[in-house]
Structure 1
Amino acid sequence: MKKIIVAILLVITMFTITTPALAGDIANGAKVFSANCAACHAGGLNVVNGAKTLKKGDLEKYEMYSLEAVKTQITKGKNAMPAFLGRLNEAQIEDVASYVLAQAEKGW
């Protein structure tokens, strides 16, 4: 009985751990990231503000660990980060956001 309860709790835990839904083309996102973002964010780091990296822990800490939050940051910019809407189209922004989250999940 104890083993069944542990197994059930394990299954419940596996299904409640959330990862962001990725909708973009990650391969294209990698290309766009390389051409537009890597100068400041190579390896998931941040050369302007070292505390706010693209690593999963920092994205979670600053409530940026979702596709919509990353897309908004890329689109509108914030603080030292420029807005990329106009330089990148909506599909490219979604691809980059998907790539960033996929890399964060992998640990960069």
Structure 2
Amino acid sequence: MKKLLSAILLGLAVFAFGFTSPAMAGNAANGAKIFSANCAACHMGGNNVVMANKTLKKDALEKFGMNSAEAIIKQVTNGKGAMPAFGGRLASDQIEDVAAYVLEQAEKGW
């Protein structure tokens, strides 16, 4: 009886966790505030004042392989080229929120 009950519980657990959708990595509403305070000087409206072709618009994010939260998080954390690293200034959850905001805005067309 205990084996049967254990098997049923295991099956329910596998079903419950196996078919749930993953939570969004960041909070876009919070990311908007962080973006405004830290990123907007160079990226207002999804543009890029330093390198005009590397915007935060959907097509440019796709072209340069930055169309995922992971890629944006890496770029914001470590910096690259003219972009400074924000890993020492922002907490990892803040950077995740910025990534969520950037992707959401890119989908909306900024």
Could you tell me the TM-score, scaled by structure 1's length? 0.80
Preserved contact between residue 22 and residue 67 of structure 1 (Cα < 8 Å): no
- Which entry has the higher C-alpha Rg, 1 or 2? 2
1:86 pairs with 2:88:
yes
Aligned to 2:68: 66
- 8 Å CA contact retained: 1:56, 1:104: yes
Distance in 1 between residues matched to 2:71 and 2:98, nearest whole Å: 12
Instruction: Provide the C-alpha distance between the structure 1 equivalents of 2:46 and 2:103, rounded to a whole number of angstroms.
Output: 10
SS at match of 1:85: coil
Report the Cα offset of residue 86 of structure 1.
Answer: 1.2
Gaps of at least 5 residues in structure 1 are 1-20
Match of 1:42 among 44, 47, 50: 44
Deviation at 1:50, TM superposition (A): 0.2
Aligned to 1:104: 106
Deviations 1:30-68 (A, max 9, x none): 000000000000000000000000000000000110010
Partners of 2:24 and 2:62 in 1: CA distance: 16
Task: Write the distance in 2 (CA, Å) between the matches of 1:70 and 1:36.
Answer: 15
Identity among equivalent pairs (%): 69
> Which ranges of structure 2 fall in alignment gaps of 5 or more residues?
1-22
- Number of aligned positions between the proteins: 88
- For residues 71 and 105 of structure 1, what CA distance do their matches in structure 2 show? 17
Residue pair 1:59, 1:65 contacting (<8 A) in 2 also? yes
In the TM superposition, residue 22 of structure 1 has moved relative to its aligned partner by: 3.8
- Selected match of 1:57 from 54, 59, 63: 59
Offset at 1:80? 0.3
